């Protein structure tokens, strides 16, 4: 049994699990943003198919796919930002011996914020380009 005066032994698995969790959430956010883009552009595809078939009546469902796609893109950006913030907060609670000596969370935070910003830019593009 360890002495109460000694610090607990270092367990790097906790730190690496936090890194894997951040990466999984960032992948999820990127996937949701990509799905949103596909959904938003599906309405455009339906309109083009209708024009090709000489059915000049407007597609009543085209706007719904655009709005739903934008929602997914924004949701993916929010997931990326929330995961980054949560990761930063968790890493700050770890004892110093559990964090590698040369580790800097700046890259992980910058990448997460960058992906969230790209998601917001994609959502803005979809809003502007929606007919």
Q: Is 66:40 a contact under the CB 8 Å cutoff?
A: yes
DSSP code per residue over 20-31? HHHHHHHHHHHH
Lowest mean per-residue pLDDT among 35-44, 68-77, 80-89, 95-104: 95-104
Q: What is the pLDDT of residue 97?
A: 83
Stretch 87-107: mean pLDDT, rounded?
88
Residue 71 has pLDDT above 90, yes or no: yes
Stretch 20-47: mean pLDDT, rounded?
91
Can you give the length of the chain in residues? 131
Token pair in block for residue 21: 């969790």
Q: What is the pLDDT of residue 95?
A: 87
Contacts of 129 (CB under 8 A, 6+ apart): none
């Amino acid at each position: 049994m360890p002495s109460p005066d000694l610090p607990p032994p270092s367990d790097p698995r906790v730190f690496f699990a936090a890194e894997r969790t951040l990466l999984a959430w960032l992948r999820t956010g990127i996937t949701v943003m990509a799905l949103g883009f596909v959904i938003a552009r599906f309405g455009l595809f339906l309109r083009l198919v209708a024009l090709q078939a000489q059915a000049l009546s407007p597609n009543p469902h085209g706007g719904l796919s655009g709005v739903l796609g934008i929602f997914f893109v924004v949701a993916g950006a929010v997931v990326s930002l929330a995961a980054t913030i949560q990761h930063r907060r968790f890493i700050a609670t770890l004892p110093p011996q559990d964090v590698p000596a040369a580790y800097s969370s700046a890259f992980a935070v910058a990448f997460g914020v960058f992906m969230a910003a790209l998601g917001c830019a994609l959502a803005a593009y979809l809003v502007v380009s929606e007919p």
